[in-house]
A = this chain, B = another copy of it.
Amino acid sequence: MAGKASGARGKRPQRPGAPRLSAEAQSGEPALSLERIVAAAVELLDAEGVDGLTMRKLADRVGAGAMSLYWHVDNKEAVFDLALDSVLEYREPPQAGESQDWRGEVLHMLEDWRASMLRHPWSAALLPRRALGPNILLRLELLGRTLSRAGVADADLNVALWSLWNHVMGATITRASFERSDDDLAAAQQRLTGLSERYPTIERSRLLLDNDWDGTFRDGLDFLLDGLAPKR
């Protein structure tokens, strides 16, 4: 029911000897391509959410016949995989790895990560169902390198990476689920407020009612980094 890494270009065969003039070279319109499909899928997901992505609507948006997608893509699952990973692409800043402010670097990486996902709220809902794509793995790799340079022992790297990843995931998912629409947010707050007699501590903590998500995310991260920092 899940798992395959790429899932893309299922039957894409080896290129022919000479790539001779394609439709793309003749008209301005680029031919149907995996890239265009993925880009359109992201647009569609941004506009209509996870349930709004339909193979037929996607084909429509890309100006192709309903079933043309299946030559480029195995199935709908693959579309989700590709859209998710494409949204998590990471461009490493040029001076990375040179400063000795490892904590600042980690903070930057994780905030960029979180921002990428919040820009596409459907990504949080999708992630738990999909495999780790190459862009996610790259982010983890770079994060691990920074921690390693900061002096985290190899034996602690697993826990460290995993805890930070969990923090980003959890924070993004929680926020995304409170942000689907203003109506929902208002309703949720209303609900939480109304429940104060039954949940006095939650009420007192103003859990999720203060809207300073960024601050809370960063504060939690600070706690984690305090614990993770190599003891000297």
Contacts and interface: CB of A to CB of B under 8 A. Distances in A.
A166 B222 CA distance: 14
A217 to B, nearest CB: 8
A40 interface: no
B207 A140 contact: yes
B159 A3 contact: no
Contacts of A184: 2-3, 131
A163 interface: yes
Interface string A139-178: 0110011001000001001110111011111110110110
Given A137-B202, A166-B167, A184-B3, A223 B224 contact: yes
Given A188-B3, A224-B163, A128 B137 contact: no
A180 B128 contact: no
**Size category, A interface:** 35 or more
A216 interface: yes
A125 interface: yes
Main secondary structure of the interface of A (DSSP, over half): helix
A212 B181 CA distance: 39
A201 interface: yes
A227 to B, nearest CB: 3
Contact of A1 (B51, B166, B187, B195): B51
Interface in A171-223: 171, 173-174, 176-177, 180-181, 183-184, 187-188, 191-192, 195, 198-202, 204-208, 210, 216, 219-220, 222-223
A130 interface: yes
B176 A128 contact: yes
A226 to B, nearest CB: 4
A228 interface: yes
13 contacts: A2-B180, A3-B188, A50-B129, A125-B129, A130-B177, A137-B195, A148-B204, A159-B220, A161-B202, A165-B170, A166-B169, A223-B228, A226-B226
